[in-house]
Amino acid sequence: MNMINPLEKYIIVYEVTCLPHILYAQTTKASEPIFFKDNFDIPNELSNLPIECRYSIYNNDGTFIEISSEIMPASGFAIKNSINLTPRKMINKLMESILKHLN
């Protein structure tokens, strides 16, 4: 019997902004989070402005599950780390909740 990954039922929305600029926007399945190897590229004209990294999780029906928002300096290294770590922490929390409801 094949086990279905419960994270297949959830979507992560990634948004990196320095309003009114959208620097990055992407959706993925929660089972396939994004991973950046290199530092995030920030345009020179935005290098002294705060950047918002916002991550949301929704189920496949579009029901909102959770959001995380971080305001940080325009550091490609910090943004890369946020993109790589924060959604994974959210996924871990979601998995704990799913497993708790299965028991």
Q: How many domains does the chain have?
A: 1
For 93-102, write each residue's pLDDT tens digit: 999 988 887 7
In a domain, 89, yes or no: yes
Domain that holds residue 25: 6-36+43-102
Question: What's the predicted TM-score (pTM) here?
Answer: 0.89
What pLDDT does 15 receive? 97
Kindly state whether residue 92 falls inside one of the protein's structural domains: yes
Q: Kindly report, residue by residue over 48-92, the tens digit of the pLDDT.
A: 999 999 999 999 999 999 999 999 999 999 999 999 999 999 999
Render pLDDT for 29-47 as a digit per residue (tens, 0 to 9).
999 999 999 999 999 999 9
Instruction: Quote the CA–CA distance of 11 and 29 in Å, as a whole number.
Output: 5
Burial of 71 (0-12, 13-18, 19+ CB in 10 A): exposed
